[in-house]
């Protein structure tokens, strides 16, 4: 019997230092995620502090994952490491570690695109979350709507023109005086709020309502953030901000979710495919999941990763690396990190995408 390959995954693109040992497509034997706490002091990630924290912890994090899996570095068949996009200094820490480990073990190393990792995360837990599907990737740095007829074939339907969805939550939290990361704090505050009390705009939702219009799938969140800022300013002037925070948080969350869910449902309508896969930190949003579930209705399939696999983690990097390696794409020691690494297999969908 042939043994399934053993992959060591490493992720250091932003503020999580993570390592995972994956056996085949789904056997997560060891997984450690260290979230850097220091950025909470600044309301956002400080790149230089992130790089230094990765340097301090990467050894222990990788050791921890190997120990948990009960395997030695010499038993690993492949090292998969995030090569981009992300903070360049942070990426280089993981990449250098991964290349050195691969060289020491005499094993191949493969560079992984961070967003392709997010696309694979759900599949680690749900075998049904495979192509064909419509994907909504929503993280702190990216917002993309994709049609995925097969792994490695990514048709970009729409993306944000400015802030990413997670970034919008983070900035909104800051404006409201809530903690970083913003998504979870806004969700918590919104629990006791009325989302209809302070109507906020739904950017690019009521323009471009016909397939083929440039705004049909495109998204934008910076105008919404400005509307929030104006609302907060006027509530502050009236001395009512503190009591209104839950309602404002609920209104903001509802506006972002409405845009994301409506654009996703448009893609479902066009492709005729009712399987939707979520990825990235914002996939954690309960409001987003509920709205999509409701809109997809009976016969719709919504797959979302568990909280641990929706935010940055090395298990998804190991899984995506395995896919790339099986396609013969392992790199050499000249592998480099790129802050703006292009998404492999991504094509901009023009006009109607093919139905399958």
Q: Given the rule CB under 6 A, which residues bind ligand KG4?
A: 14, 139-141, 166-167, 169-170, 181-184, 187, 280-282, 284-285, 311-312
Q: How far is the CB of 191 from ligand KG4 (least distance, A)?
A: 11
Q: How far is the CB of 200 from Zn ion (least distance, A)?
A: 26
| CB of 45 or CB of 254, closer to Zn ion | 45
CA distance 263 to 48: 36
Q: Which does 181 bind (CB under 5 to 8 A by kind): Zn ion, ligand KG4, none?
A: ligand KG4
Cβ 186 vs Cβ 226: under 8 Å: no
Cβ 254 vs Cβ 228: under 8 Å: no
Chain residue at closest Cβ approach to Zn ion: 139
CA distance 253 to 84: 29
| CB of 116 or CB of 170, closer to ligand KG4 | 170
| CB of 4 or CB of 258, closer to ligand KG4 | 258
* Structure-block tokens of residue 321: 């690396």
Chain residue at closest Cβ approach to ligand KG4: 183
27-35 and 16-23 as β-strands: parallel, antiparallel, unpaired?
antiparallel
Q: How far is the CB of 332 from ligand KG4 (least distance, A)?
A: 27
| CB of 170 or CB of 215, closer to Zn ion | 170
- Using CA atoms, how far residue 217 sits from 116, 136, 141, 192, in Å, is 20, 11, 18, 31
User: Which residues share a beta bridge with 82?
Assistant: 112
Q: How far is the CB of 154 from Zn ion (least distance, A)?
A: 16
CA distance 212 to 229: 33
CA distance 297 to 91: 40
Q: Which does 282 bind (CB under 5 to 8 A by kind): Zn ion, ligand KG4, none?
A: ligand KG4
| CB of 51 or CB of 311, closer to ligand KG4 | 311
| CB of 30 or CB of 279, closer to ligand KG4 | 279
| Residues in touch with Zn ion (CB under 5 A) | 139, 312
Q: Which does 184 bind (CB under 5 to 8 A by kind): ligand KG4, Zn ion, none?
A: ligand KG4
CA distance 142 to 139: 5
How many CA atoms lie less than 13 Å away from 271 in the CB half-sphere?
27
User: Which residues share a beta bridge with 293?
Assistant: none
Q: How far is the CB of 196 from Zn ion (least distance, A)?
A: 32
Q: How far is the CB of 167 from ligand KG4 (least distance, A)?
A: 6
């Amino acid at each position: 019997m042939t043994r399934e390959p053993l992959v060591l995954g490493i992720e250091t693109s932003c503020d999580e230092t993570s390592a995972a040992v994956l056996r085949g497509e789904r056997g997560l034997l060891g997984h450690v995620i260290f979230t850097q706490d220091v950025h909470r002091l600044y309301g956002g990630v400080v790149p230089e502090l992130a790089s230094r924290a990765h340097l301090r912890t990467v050894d222990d994090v990788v050791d921890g994952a190997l120990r948990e899996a009960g395997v030695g570095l010499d038993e690993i068949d492949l090292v998969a490491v995030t090569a981009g996009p992300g903070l360049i200094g942070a990426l280089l820490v993981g990449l250098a570690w991964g290349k050195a480990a691969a060289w020491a073990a005499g094993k191949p190393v493969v560079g992984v695109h961070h967003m392709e990792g997010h696309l694979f995360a759900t599949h680690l837990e749900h075998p049904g979350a495979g192509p064909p599907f419509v994907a909504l990737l929503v993280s702190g740095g990216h917002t993309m709507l994709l049609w995925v007829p097969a792994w490695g074939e990514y048709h970009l339907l729409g993306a944000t023109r400015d802030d990413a969805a997670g970034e919008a939550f983070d900035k909104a939290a800051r404006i409201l005086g809530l903690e970083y990361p913003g998504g979870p704090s806004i969700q918590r505050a919104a629990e006791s709020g009325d989302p209809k009390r302070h109507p906020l705009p739904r950017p690019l939702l009521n323009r471009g309502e016909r397939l083929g219009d440039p705004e049909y799938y495109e998204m934008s969140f910076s105008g919404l953030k400005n509307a929030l800022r104006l609302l907060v300013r006027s509530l502050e002037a009236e001395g009512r901000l503190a009591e209104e925070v839950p309602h404002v948080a609920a209104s903001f969350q509802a506006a972002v979710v409405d845009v994301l869910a409506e654009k996703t449902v448009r893609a479902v309508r066009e492709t005729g495919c009712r399987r939707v896969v979520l990825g990235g930190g914002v996939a954690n949003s309960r409001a987003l999941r509920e709205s999509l579930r409701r809109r997809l209705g009976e016969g719709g399939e919504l797959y979302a990763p568990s909280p641990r696999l929706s935010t940055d983690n090395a298990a998804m990097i190991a899984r995506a690396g395995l896919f790339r390696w099986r396609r013969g794409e392992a790199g050499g020691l000249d592998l480099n990190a790129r802050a703006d690494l292009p998404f492999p297999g991504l094509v901009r969908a023009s006009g109607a995408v093919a139905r399958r």
